[in-house]
């Protein structure tokens, strides 16, 4: 199987590997500055955030704790409903901690707004959001992502952690999935 953007599976690359890595470096420097003298725990949202966690954390020139959550949002089809269920909870207490959620994509914002509230309710001192991608719908909800990699159009994208039926997560770039694969 050829996973290059030849149009068979990946219609086009919208964010290249190089673009992702250089943007992550920039954002990491910003995070180091913003959290200077402060505590920092990264909470990755499984499974989409695996690549972002691995790369971003390696660009952070400071100590960080890392923990993971897996959540699922119920809803018809591929639209999230805002009703979220925890599949895997954090291993550690976050009372009084400064949390940075690491996400792959902010779409309707329902997942992230639920997660932010949930972490604050556990007594986190602060909860901020890092997302690799943001879609236009995110503008209509009140989830403020402090760190955004790229604003992208409302198309279904895969790669760099994002999947279609669990595949394509291992692509080092972000691409638009060929429509014939899902329509
Ligand atoms: P919200 O609650 O912000 O949920 O709507 C974001 C979640 O929706 C999924 N999602 C996508 N997954 N390609 C994907 O592989 C996409 O283009 C896409 N848009 C939204 C994803 O699970 C994300 O966590
Ligand atoms: Mg996700």
pLDDT in tens, 89-148: 999 999 999 999 999 999 988 889 999 999 999 999 999 999 999 998 777 777 899 999
The Cα–Cα gap between 157 and 153 comes to 9
Asked if residues 115 and 84 have their Cβ atoms less than 8 Å apart, the reply is: yes
Domain boundaries, the chain: 20-152
For the domain with range 20-152, which CATH number is right: 3.30.300.30, 3.90.920.20, 3.40.50.2020, 3.50.50.60? Answer: 3.40.50.2020
- The residue to which tokens 């790369």 are assigned: 55
Q: How confident is the model at residue 79 (pLDDT cuts 50, 70, 90)?
A: low
Is position 107 annotated as part of the catalytic site?
yes
- Longest alpha-carbon distance in the chain: 50
**Which atom belonging to ligand 1 lies closest to the Cα atom of 106?**
3
Note whether 111 and 84 are within 8 A (CB).
yes
pLDDT band of 47, cuts 50, 70, 90: very high
What is the number of the ligand closest to the CA of 50? 2
Q: Which helix (H) or strand (E) holds 52?
A: helix 50-59
* Residue 133, SS3 per DSSP: strand
Distances (CA, A) of 71 to 3, 80, 108, 145: 28, 11, 15, 18
Q: Catalytic pick from 67, 89, 107, 151?
A: 107
């Amino acid at each position: 199987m050829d996973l290059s953007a030849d149009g068979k599976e990946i219609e086009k690359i919208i964010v290249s590997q190089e673009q992702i890595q250089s943007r992550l470096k920039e954002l990491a420097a910003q995070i180091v500055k913003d959290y200077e003298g402060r505590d920092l725990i990264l909470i990755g949202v499984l499974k989409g955030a695996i690549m972002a966690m691995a790369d971003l954390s390696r660009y952070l020139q400071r100590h960080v704790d890392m923990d993971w959550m897996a959540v699922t949002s119920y809803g018809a089809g591929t639209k999230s409903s805002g009703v979220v269920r925890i599949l895997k909870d954090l291993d550690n207490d976050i009372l009084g901690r400064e949390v940075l959620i690491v996400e792959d994509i902010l779409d309707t914002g329902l997942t992230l707004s639920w997660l932010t509230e949930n972490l604050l309710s556990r007594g986190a001192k602060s909860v901020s959001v890092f997302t690799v991608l943001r879609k236009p719908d995110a503008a209509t909800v009140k989830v403020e992502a402090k760190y955004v990699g790229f604003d992208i159009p409302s198309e279904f994208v895969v790669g760099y952690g994002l999947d279609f039926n669990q595949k394509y997560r291992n692509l080092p770039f972000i691409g638009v999935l060929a429509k014939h694969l899902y329509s």
